[in-house]
């Protein structure tokens, strides 16, 4: 079985765990083409058999996301799964969020989250962060091709974005919170596209495993 499988990843599982479950069910070599955080749902592309050799060609594809974030709260992981570091009850308006978003469209420098799979001195950043080691991940140039505020109901806001490979949604939300001086964290994130592949084409993991 040499195939490209589009999976709608459920919340709570790591991408590696999804691949492991599929490998056991399908009894074939398999690998994914780009990690989704456990908190995230949506499109995970899994290659099987000889197609696993093509993984690198998928890593450079643009990604699309739907994101729900919360203002006034900052965590060590930049999402709601982390330890709360700061809380702020200053009210922010929709117009203020819109204004800040303008500054992120286009090419930007982005620092990946300390709790990420980014390699530092041969170790993944999250492995060091979990041990209490201070992690300083170098910034990387990334692109935001579109960024649209879809809904605002303080302290929550939702947005859609189309971004380059290597982009961290958690870092974007964290940086939006910094610009507004109140902090922000990801509450929900759904990957809706990778290149020309769409989540609407994907199968639920439970369908594949049944």
pTM for the predicted model, two decimal places: 0.90
Per residue in 156-180, pLDDT tens? 999 999 999 999 999 999 999 999 9
| pLDDT score of 2 more than 90 | no
More confident residue, 169 or 131: 169
Mean pLDDT of the chain: 91
- Choice among 37, 79, 162, 175 that is catalytic: 37
Q: Report the sign of the C-alpha dihedral through residues 100, 105, 108, 113, in that order.
A: positive
**Quick check: 176 and 101 in contact, CB under 8 A?**
yes
Q: What is the pLDDT of residue 138?
A: 81
- Strands 140-153 and 106-110, by their bridges, are antiparallel
Domains and CATH numbers, the chain: 4-60+196-209 (3.30.70), 63-193 (3.30.2350.10)
| pLDDT score of 34 more than 80 | yes
In angstroms, how far is CA 98 from the centroid of its own chain? 21
The two three-digit tokens of residue 196, written as one number? 């020309």
- Res. 127 pLDDT band, cuts 50 70 90: low
Residue 37 annotated to the active site: yes
Closest CA to 8 of 149, 180, 138, 200: 200
Q: What is the mean pLDDT of residues 119-140?
A: 65
The two three-digit tokens of residue 210, written as one number? 């049944």
| pLDDT score of 128 more than 70 | no
């Amino acid at each position: 079985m040499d195939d490209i499988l589009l999976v709608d990843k459920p919340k709570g599982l790591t991408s590696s765990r999804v691949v492991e479950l599929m490998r056991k069910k399908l009894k074939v070599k398999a690998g994914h083409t780009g990690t989704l955080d456990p908190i995230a749902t949506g499109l995970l592309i899994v290659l099987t058999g000889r197609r696993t050799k093509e993984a690198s060609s998928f890593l450079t594809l643009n990604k699309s996301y739907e994101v729900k974030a919360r203002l006034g709260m900052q965590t060590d992981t930049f999402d709601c799964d982390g330890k709360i570091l700061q809380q702020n009850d200053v009210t922010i308006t929709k117009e203020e969020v819109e204004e800040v978003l303008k500054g992120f469209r286009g090419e930007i420098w982005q620092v990946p989250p300390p709790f990420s799979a980014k390699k530092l001195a041969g170790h993944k950043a999250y492995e060091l962060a979990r041990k209490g080691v201070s992690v300083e991940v170098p910034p990387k140039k990334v692109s935001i091709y579109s960024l649209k505020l879809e809904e605002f109901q303080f302290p929550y806001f939702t947005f859609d974005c189309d971004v380059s490979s290597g982009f961290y949604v958690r870092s974007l939300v964290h940086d939006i919170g910094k610009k507004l001086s109140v902090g922000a964290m990801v509450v929900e994130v759904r990957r809706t596209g990778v290149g020309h592949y769409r989540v609407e084409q994907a199968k639920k993991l439970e369908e594949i495993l049944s």
